[in-house]
Structure 1
Amino acid sequence: MDSQILPFIIFLIAVTVTPLLSSAAPATPCQSNCGSLQIKYPFGTGYGCGSPRFEPYITCKSNQLLLTTHTGSYLITAISYKDSTLTITPSAMSTCNSMQQSPNLGLDWASPFQLGPSIFLLLSCTPPTSSLTIKGSPVCDPSSTHLCATIYTCPAVVNLRLPLFPPTNTCCVYSPANFNSKGELDLREMKCKGYASIASFQDSPTDPSKWMYGVTLKYTNGGFDDYYMNNKCNTCEDSGGICGYSPPTNSFLCICNSGFNATTDCYNNYNPVQDYEDLIGTSASLSTQKIMLGLWVGLLFYIAA
């Protein structure tokens, strides 16, 4: 055998096998959990995961699930797939233990999210809040002023430059709340310094230290989500897969633990000959090993000849 040909053959094998091995890792970091939260459709943990309508707004970073809007990124602390709601806890939101001045809170109009049944308490407002209006309509609920008196018992009110036990006419119970034309809770316009949002009283309506603070949001599925949730996603998740999509067409994918991505489910995903139309990743599977073995056997026969 010509000794000059051998290095070329070895180089050819390396060039052929390397792309196969480099495609072994899945192209998308789709996970079924982010920290302590279970991640199911329509949410996802990265590009190509979940629904393409939700992907621009929901991300998993450092085991924290975040909702990002034009006003900032907010930690998601709870999800109810049954009720189609999630709870965010903005870092600048006030609680009984920590009160602070807050920037505006907002949602993108194009996003699939809207305000849920949270109760907003606007804090340290210019008195009297009974005259607080938006477009001429009063916004404060006079029947719930006891909530202002309750949260104003928290010593943290001094952080808003309020005295202990301040007058309740500097607080407004804004429920049901709404956002302005910019999709924001505009505290500056309403001349309030901060806000608290109550997601649940936790069976302690008179003890604000035990309330669950957070902003409840509802999310809505579009036509894409409804179709694939009803027809494919449930089957995919039942088979142990994670629902996703294949850019740029955003066609449905069932992302399986084996590394193969199916168009239906993961029950028979160990056979690479199946009809997988939209592969966005593969594994170092038996097929790759067969290709490598065939190349080496061919080389040995060539040397022996």
Structure 2
Amino acid sequence: MACLLLATLFISFNGLVPLVHSYGHANTCRSFCGNLTLDYPFAVRPGCGHPGFRELLFCINDVLMLHISSGSYRVLDIDYAYEALVLHDPHMSTCDSIVLGHRGNGFVVESWRAPYLNPTPDNVFMLLGCSAQSPLYQGFPGKHLPCRNVSGLGCEEYYGCSAWDAIGPRRTGILYGSGPPDCCAMPYETVKAVNLSRLDCQGYSSAYSRAPLRVSGPDEWAYGIQVKYSVQGNEGFCRACEATGGSCGYDIDGNSDLCMCGSWNSTSNCDSAHSAASYTRIWSSEVPLAGMI
């Protein structure tokens, strides 16, 4: 009888041990790609991260790529404190190279993803070789072109790059008859989508401010597309989930929020899921033995 009682206690205790240890489980969604850490709201595993960023990032040979409707971009940096990414388009012009021929991606994000992902206000897009018939210049007769500097970055300074030496840029385009300027700088908000084909432009460059750092010229600019991301008020759910040892994710069928708690998921946090699972586990361990005592 004593042996049977000890066996009962041993089995019941064993039923509790995995639950106690699993409460402090590791983050199942955090991962790495090259030297970049992927954490909420981003992930490369289905069901992890925020649904607004699903099917967005792909790790290919230790290179993190971001894919949207306008094309694929290499992710150079993720700043979780500033909530921003820096993207690289291999066909984007820089101070060392002018790329024309409609080869650049530009930047166009899907309408459903737009609330979560947009270039930062201090990111300048410099559109190159746009025709006089471009939508950019419609409704802006004469000198009233939409081109302007953004955070101190603009075409007049960009013309100072050595890459322009072989082209000899046309700096002014007062009337459409004489042609628009070879470079027109503007913030993303002006056009909402940098689609080179629709805008009838040959290429583009993109740079962003590194304030408070001071740079002496366009050869020291930070070239790339700096994109601000937002989870649209979802921080509370994820904080509660992570505070109880969970990983933030979503239901891949309905895109609703889920807190991943090891071997189970919760729609709130791992405290509620753990309590329910503990009750079930203890009950299933002890009931068969109760009739044997």
Smaller-chain TM-score bracket? 0.5 to 0.7
Q: How does 1:51-70 map to 2 (within 5 A)?
A: 51-70=50-69
Distance 1:49 1:172, change over 3 A: same
Q: Deviation per CA, 1:211-241: give whole Å up to 9, x if none.
A: 1111122222246x34422421x325xx4x6
User: What is the aligned-residue RMSD (CA, Å)?
Assistant: 3.8
* Structure 2 runs not aligned, ≥5 long: 1-27, 173-181, 282-293
Deviation, 1:50, is 0.8
- Among 231, 250, 260, the alignment partner of 1:254 is 260
Q: How does 1:37-186 map to 2 (within 5 A)?
A: 37-101=36-100, 102-111=104-113, 112-117=116-121, 118-126=123-131, 132-133=136-137, 136=140, 138-141=145-148, 147-157=154-164, 162-163=167-168, 166-169=169-172, 170-175=182-187, 177-180=189-192, 184-186=193-195
Deviation, 1:177, is 4.0
Deviation, 1:89, is 1.5
Whole-Å separation in 2 of the counterparts to 1:80 and 1:143: 21
Whole-Å separation in 1 of the counterparts to 2:53 and 2:239: 17
- Among 193, 196, 203, the alignment partner of 1:187 is 196
Whole-Å separation in 1 of the counterparts to 2:261 and 2:252: 14
Deviation, 1:38, is 2.2
State the structure with bigger RCO (CA 8 A, min sep 6), 1 or 2: 2
SS at match of 1:106: coil
SS at match of 1:209: helix
Whole-Å separation in 1 of the counterparts to 2:257 and 2:186: 42
Task: Please tell me the residue identity of whatever aligns with 1:78.
Answer: D
| Contact 2:70-2:195 at 8 Å conserved across structures | no
Which 4+ runs in 1 deviate beyond 6 A?
142-146
Deviation, 1:142, is 6.7
| Contact 1:78-1:86 at 8 Å conserved across structures | yes
Match of 1:245 in 2: 250
Deviation, 1:79, is 2.2
Whole-Å separation in 1 of the counterparts to 2:203 and 2:90: 12
| Contact 2:66-2:72 at 8 Å conserved across structures | yes
SS at match of 1:78: strand
Task: Please tell me the residue identity of whatever aligns with 1:97.
Answer: D
Match of 1:288 in 2: none
Whole-Å separation in 2 of the counterparts to 1:205 and 1:105: 26
- Among 170, 190, 215, the alignment partner of 2:225 is 215
Whole-Å separation in 2 of the counterparts to 1:60 and 1:53: 18
| Contact 1:85-1:218 at 8 Å conserved across structures | yes
| Contact 1:261-1:276 at 8 Å conserved across structures | no
Whole-Å separation in 1 of the counterparts to 2:248 and 2:280: 15
Deviation, 1:191, is 4.1
Q: Deviation per CA, 1:119-164: give whole Å up to 9, x if none.
A: 112223457x9x9535558421179898323322323236xx723x
* Structure 1 runs not aligned, ≥5 long: 1-28, 278-305
SS at match of 2:157: helix
Task: Please tell me the residue identity of whatever aligns with 2:237.
Answer: Y
Deviation, 1:70, is 1.3
